[in-house]
Amino acid sequence: MTFRRFKQVLGATLLLAAVCGPTFAAKPLKILMFGTSLTQGLGLPPGTELPAVLAKKLGAAGIPAQVVNAGVSGDTSADGLSRIDWSLADHPDAAIVELGSNDALRGIDPAQTEKNIAAVLTKLKAAHVPVLLLGMKAPRNLGAQYDAAFDAIYPKLAHQFGDMLYPFVLDGVALDPKLNQADGIHPNPAGTQVIAARMFPYVQKLIAEIPKGRH
């Protein structure tokens, strides 16, 4: 092969790489799922926790994505706020935020819970990370005033920050013994499947909000 021919072949190869490279080198989306034991998958066999199930559903839909499990059992909204910077250092493309359940179980002032979650959402917005906020409802043993104040946190914050809201993370699962573990709080594998199926259209909409340059 002459030097001139070599240059022609090299140029064509580089052009092909420039055109096709992004298609073949595209990395899976990185979705941060940030929350409590409901995210972590307390009591569940490996691979059946909510982030893992959502990742499988995305893959089956032709959307390669890594759903990072950033759930910590027992975390309050204050605990979540204390570690969000660490999770953001991993540069997620989008985030699913599930916080507040442990606040309600401990009877923490809803105003403080709202303040903490708002601070988490502020940090995500500053990092230009689109968010799906998962709503929670207070257990109905703390009084109507507490219930109303706590339940209102999520729609209020979603409106304030312009984030998508999934109204109740345990929708279709709460209080159903067939879909929960013995503690009556944490979903079993069947319950996790129900949550993932109901949440999945919201996750697809979340992905559509990721800036094109980050796909």
Concerning whether 183 is annotated as a catalytic residue, the answer is yes
Which of 37, 77, 87, 101 is the catalytic position?
37
212 confidence band (pLDDT: 50, 70, 90): confident
Q: Is 151 a catalytic residue?
A: no
| Residues 111-148 pLDDT 10s | 999 999 999 999 999 999 999 999 999 999 999 999 99
For residue 32, give the nearest of 79, 84, 81 by alpha carbon.
84
Collapsing DSSP to helix, strand or coil, 181 comes out as: coil
User: Which residue, among 139, 192, 135, has the nearest Cα to 169 in the 3D structure?
Assistant: 135
C-alpha to C-alpha distance for 119 and 123, rounded to whole angstroms: 6
CA 35/CA 211 separation, integer angstroms: 24
| Domain residue spans of the chain | 28-214
Q: Please confirm, yes or no, whether 101 is among the known catalytic residues.
A: no
**In one letter, which amino acid is 59?**
G
| pLDDT tens column, 30-79 | 999 999 999 999 999 999 999 999 999 999 999 999 999 999 999 999 99
- The pLDDT tens digits for 151-164 are 999 999 999 999 99
Q: How confident is the model at residue 198, as a pLDDT?
A: 98
Of 77, 147, 183, 215, which residue is the catalytic one?
A: 183
CATH architecture of 28-214: 3-Layer(aba) Sandwich (3.40)
For residue 176 the two structure tokens come to 């159903």
* C-alpha torsion 104→108→112→113, nearest 10: -20
Identity at 132, one-letter amino acid code? L
Its pTM stands at 0.87
